[in-house]
Structure 1
Amino acid sequence: MKQLPTNQAGTSLIEALMTIAIFTMVSISLYMMIWLALHLLRDDQARLDAIAIAQTKIEELRNAPYESVGTSGGIPSGAFSQLETVVRNNRDYHVETEIIYIDDVYDGVAPIDTVNTDYKQAEVSVTWQGQYVSEPVVLSTIFAPEGIETTAGGGTLWVEAVDSDEQPVAGATILVTNTTTVPTVNITSTTDINGRYILPGAPAATQSYHVELSKSGYSSSQTYPEDLDSNPNPDPHDLSVIALDTTTLVMVIDSLGELNIHLERRDDGTALIDIPVQITGSQRIGTDLSGADIPKYSELLTSDSSGDIVISSLESDIYTIVIDEDTTTFDLAGYSQSLPLNIAPGASETVTLLLADAESDTALLSITDISGTPIVGATVDATNADFSTNLTETTDANGQVYFSPLSQESFTVEVTAAGYEIYSTSIEVSGDMNLTLPLTAS
């Protein structure tokens, strides 16, 4: 019987390609394993170097007299640097040394314990740029004076970081500086789990301790120096420290929010570009020589090509939003949210401003219930004294009507809406009027 021929050459080619593919995958896997192992070994060596650097720094501190254990610009003051760079095996290591006084609970704490510089604590942190392992190496130790504790002089600076709900903010960065003391003070640290930063042994000084508080994703807070030109009456003022006394400061920071302002024409909804808008917060940082508040936030911003003004990283506050009528030909003719606008911590708010061509005398009327909720579809009639002018409008989606142009005279305004009592009032029109009229449920 005659046998069919077999395709031995084709089978051999497929087997060869599969063998090559498998060999290639195995080779790549082995290469990656070897590459990873080498980098891990290199990172292990970097960590060992970092540990050695930290241990060396700790030994340097231990070999110094107790009175000399301190940092340049720190409290306690000394010759050791707060920040330095060490090169080891062609790698840069950043060494941060923090030395502070400790007020031990054993004999009471400030403000009851006036001698609260019981002993010193040093913490050395070493960081570097690693391929995989980049956790810092941190070593700490304490230094106790010989014999009975003695006062280091000065007082205690006690700062508490809280949010708007009065909850502690841990891990916030705090900067304390004073250029009037000898030596000067320049300390960067963080708040503890209770949101506190306590600095015993601070040299006595009057209104010269400058404090700044910040945290990623949060607003910032600070004290302010007196400046006759920009801030003659700062609030809060840079702090004073009195010997054997405690100065306390509570600083409020909170999650940042965002504000999007959209500007468009009231009549046709066309986006308006290059419109200047003044945004001012209610928080203040002091008063000027006339006693007027100096706001913490006040910016004049301009709408973009889409008619938008986007403000990211905005702290919680109550903001007034005003069209700069001196440099534009528009009047405010409506808005989608009540103004001033309250930005809550971490909130993202959008408000639409409706604008109309500027006129000398106008009336923007917002119709609400007694709780402030806008009433849509209410009928608003405005009639002057001699009945020569009678205007009727229906409230829009924002519960508003806009009458323009008007003349400077008295108008009787009557509002009717289903489910509410008829509302009637008299208004004297002069300039751009912006009024809210609350209705009572029937």
Structure 2
Amino acid sequence: MVSKVVYHSRVRILETALLAEELEVVRNLPFDQVGIEDGVPSGALKRTRTVKRNGVDFTLVTTVRNVDDPFDGTVTGTPRDYSPADYKLVEMSAICVDCAQQEPVILSTQVSPKGLEGATNNGALFIQVFDANGLPVQGASVHVTNTARTPFVIIEDTTDNDGMLRVVDTPTGTLSYHITVNKDGYSSDYTVSSTAQNPNPVRPPANVASQTITEISFSIDRLSNIELSTQNTNCAVLSDRQIAVWGNKKVGTEPDVYKYYRVITTGGGGTYSLSSIEEDTYNISASGTAYDIAGSIPMLPLVLLPNSSQNVSLILRPHTSNSLLVNVKDAGSGLPLSDVAVRLYKTGYDESLTTGLGYTRQTDWSGGGGQEMYADLTRYFDDSGTLDTDSPAGDIKLIRAAGKYLGSGWLESSTIDLGIGVDFRNIIPEPISQPASTTMLLQIAASNSSSPSLWEFVGPDGATSTYYTATNTIIWTGHNGKQFFRYRALLETEDDDVTPQLSELAITFTTSCTPPGQSFFYNLGSGTYNIEAVRSSYITSTGTVDVSGNNDTVINLSTVE
């Protein structure tokens, strides 16, 4: 171990000495040669090369940036600097090729012109990278090429702490700057050129005009997964089924060209893993004419959050020429609604179906603790005594004392009776986003008795030490088949000026293979049908729906005031 530490120390000493030599060479170059071959600024330096020292190979990576010094104004300021390339920042990194080194050594220097900066007819390219929540992504890799110039312009750099890359003194070009943004473990985003297949790209290559700033933004976030399975209405596995999957994000319009579109075939076990895909709202349909989707768990389309994994079960029936999948949701929460009588009728046809069990939720805790069974919808079983359930009324927050929030608190729900054993799916808290330095964690305990000797609260892997979060919502399968459950919420803050908050908690579930909130009508004739949805405590919905081919519709029911 000691010899290994000494060896790595010597390697880093070699890297530091090597970078010092290389930067000294840079400082002695003419100013106009300090740049990257075919880059911006352009010059005599190579972006990447391998150098040998003492028999050891090192990879050197060089980045050169024009810097707009605020001393004489900036390209975006007042007074405006029309010659913004005031000096150059040169950054070099070195890392041993075969030493299992984790991080490179990085050194930098500034290079200034000997005389005054010259006037320029170039422009500026500002690239902003943010995530799905609109927050800046620092350290994102940005690759820019302009193949319309000779030699080609190639820029490889990373975003700063504000998620920005500012390339000043950029040569002009019309629809010629092709940009790709990515980061390890994240999705990618990019410009798209016009083609015969995509004549109207949503984000074409960027323009750079003389003495003008071009601003362009990209969105990337951590990758996620979808675990897809196909089965029939009797829960039997259906293998080798072709399924089409596409997101809502588009790279072109008229015609629509989707950023993500795939046709996959489930394996022998009726499953398929869509790994490392970006956050989006995903649509799923049966491909071909063998089967129709008669429902799904959860309801489609699927909202896939960043850095999450979601199971999706597709319930398939043999294909008929005309069918209608009815999705019924609570208008307030958007969650699937159970026990809804859906009637579809016209002359010569009249059929009613009931949607499968969907969800249970609690939105108010202001009634206080001491309730064993969930009868009063504003009450719960117990809490830590450090929670406030009345500001605003019904929400859960940490108590504020002497102007500061307490550090933590917990709440245990009353026992909720689902009527029969169910397959649990997701636990969904609101709001999803919490203030920085705070956490809102959840656990579930389930039983086939309303009064077990012990309610054992566990997280998504069945352990008492793990918790569900807003992005880790899939309920442990060990709870499946249970009729009764309780949940426990844990609120914590590291900053006594802010508190997490829980305003609504929903549990979604299914029984056997009945999808939540859905009814499927098949073997229909084409035409216009009357449709009616009725549920106790909700306003009845009536309307018409056109059926031609395999259709779906959404009904949102509002509660009676």
Give TM class, smaller chain. Answer: 0.7 to 0.9
- Counterpart in 2 of 1:402? 520
Paired position in structure 2 for 1:236? 203
Structure 2 equivalent of residue 71 of structure 1: 36
More displaced, 371-380 or 308-317? 371-380
The aligned amino acid for 2:271 is: D
Partner of 2:125: 157
Q: 2:307 aligns with which of 346, 368, 385?
A: 346
Matched residue type, 1:373:
L
Tell me which residue corresponds to 2:84.
Answer: 116
How far apart are the structure 1 equivalents of 2:340 and 2:101? Answer: 66
CA contact (8 A) 1:43 1:130 kept: no
* Residues 64-92 of structure 1 deviation map (CA, whole Å, 9 limit, x = unaligned): 21222222122221122111111112210
CA distance in 1, matches of 2:163, 2:180: 14
Q: Aligned in 2, Cα 1:357/1:83: closer, same or farther, shift over 3 Å?
A: same
Structure 2 letter corresponding to 1:375: L
Measured at CA, do residues 438 and 47 of structure 1 come closer, stay the same or move farther in structure 2, by a change above 3 Å?
closer
2-structure distance, mates of 1:61, 1:345: 42
Tell me the distance in 1 between the aligned counterparts of 2:347 and 2:132. 50
Residues of 1 paired with 2:528 and 2:68: CA distance? 71
Distance 2:189 2:68 in 1: 26
Larger Rg: 1
Query: Structure 1: how far apart are the matches of 2:189 and 2:133?
Result: 16
Instruction: Compute the TM-score of the two structures, normalised by the length of structure 2.
Output: 0.66
Assess if the C-alpha contact under 8 Å between 2:95 and 2:101 holds in 1. Answer: no
Cα shift readout 1:115-164 (whole Å, capped 9, x = no counterpart): 10101121121111475765422221111112322235421111111112
The answer to whether the 8 Å contact 1:172/1:190 transfers is yes
Q: How does 1:380-391 map to 2 (within 5 A)?
A: 380-382=342-344, 384-385=346-347, 390-391=350-351
Deviation of the 1:240 alpha carbon: 1.6
Output the CA distance in 1 between the equivalents of 2:352 and 2:126. Answer: 62
Structure with bigger RCO (C-alpha 8 Å, 6+ apart): 2
Residue 233 of structure 1 aligns to a residue whose secondary structure is: coil
1:183 aligns with 2:143: no
Following superposition, the deviation at residue 347 of structure 1 comes to: 3.0
* SS, match of residue 147 in structure 1: coil
Deviating more after overlay: 174-183 vs 363-372: 363-372
Per-residue deviation, 1:361: 3.0
Compare the two structures and name the one with the higher helix fraction: 1
Matched residue, 1:275: 241
- The percentage of counterpart residues that share the same residue type is 31
Structure 1 residues 270 and 201: alpha-carbon distance in aligned structure 2, compared to 1, 3 A threshold: same
In the alignment, the residues of structure 2 paired with residue 93 and residue 334 of structure 1 have an alpha-carbon distance, to the nearest angstrom, of 57
Is contact 1:117-1:151 (8 Å) kept? no
Relative to structure 1, is the Cα distance of residues 210 and 133 closer, same or farther in structure 2, using a 3 angstrom cutoff? Answer: closer
Where 1:310 maps in the other structure, the secondary structure is strand
Corresponding position of 2:353: 393
- Structure 2 residue matching 1:55: 3-state secondary structure: helix
Shift of 1:187: 2.1
Which secondary structure does the structure 1 equivalent of 2:12 belong to? helix
Matches of 2:542 and 2:129, distance apart in 1:
51
Does the 8 Å contact 1:177/1:209 carry over to 2? yes
Partners of 2:306 and 2:48 in 1: how far apart?
Answer: 34
Q: Is the 8 A contact 2:198 2:255 kept in 1?
A: no
> Residue 71 of structure 2 aligns to a residue in which SS?
helix
Change (3 A) 1:345 1:93: same
**Aligned partners of 2:544, 2:87: CA distance in 1, in Å?**
74
Alpha-carbon RMSD: 2.4
Q: Structure 1 residues 410, 317: CA separation in 2 closer, same or farther (over 3 Å shift)?
A: closer
CA 1:334–1:183: 2 relative to 1, 3 Å: same
**Distance across 1 between alignment mates of 2:56 and 2:85:** 38
User: Does the CA-based 8 Å contact 1:385-1:412 persist in structure 2?
Assistant: no
Letter in 2 for 1:215: K
Q: State the distance in 2 between where 1:231 and 1:433 align.
A: 27
Question: Contact conserved, 1:264 with 1:352, CA < 8 A, in 2?
Answer: yes
Question: SS at 1:259's partner residue?
Answer: strand
**Residue range with higher mean Cα deviation, 91-100 or 345-354:** 345-354
- The one-character-per-residue Cα deviations of 1:372-408 (angstroms, maximum 9, x if unpaired) are 433323344555535xx55443322312233333344
* 1:272 counterpart letter in structure 2: L
| 1:234 partner SS | coil
Q: CA deviation at 1:332?
A: 1.8
Residue 231 of structure 2 corresponds to: 264
State how many pairs are aligned. Answer: 398
Task: Give the superposition deviation at 1:270.
Answer: 1.0
What is the SS of the residue equivalent to 1:254? coil
SS at 1:189's partner residue? strand
Rounded Cα–Cα distance in structure 1 between residues aligned with 2:163 and 2:531: 55
Q: Does the aligned pair in 2 maintain the 1:121–1:141 contact within 8 Å?
A: yes
The answer to whether the aligner puts 1:193 opposite 2:161 as a matched pair is yes
Instruction: Provide the rounded CA distance (Å) in 2 between the counterparts of 1:240 and 1:409.
Output: 50
Query: Relative to structure 1, is the Cα distance of residues 271 and 38 closer, same or farther in structure 2, using a 3 angstrom cutoff?
Result: same
CA distance in 1, matches of 2:104, 2:232: 56
For 1:235 and 1:415, locate their aligned partners in 2 and report how far apart those are by CA, in whole Å: 39
Q: Flag structure 1 segments of 5+ consecutive residues without an equivalent.
A: 1-35
* Kept in 1: contact 2:299–2:336 (CA 8 A): no
Aligned counterparts of 1:293 and 1:305: Cα–Cα separation in 2: 33
- Kept after mapping to 1: 8 A contact 2:126/2:214: yes
Query: What is the TM-score of this pair, normalised by structure 1?
Result: 0.82
Quickly say closer, same or farther: Cα 1:134–1:419, change in 2 above 3 A. closer
Decide whether aligned partners of structure 1 residues 393 and 234 sit closer, same or farther in structure 2, where only a CA change above 3 A counts.
closer
Tell me the CA shift for residue 190 of structure 1.
0.8
Structure 2: give runs of 5+ residues left out of the alignment. Answer: 358-515
Q: Assess if the C-alpha contact under 8 Å between 2:68 and 2:84 holds in 1.
A: yes
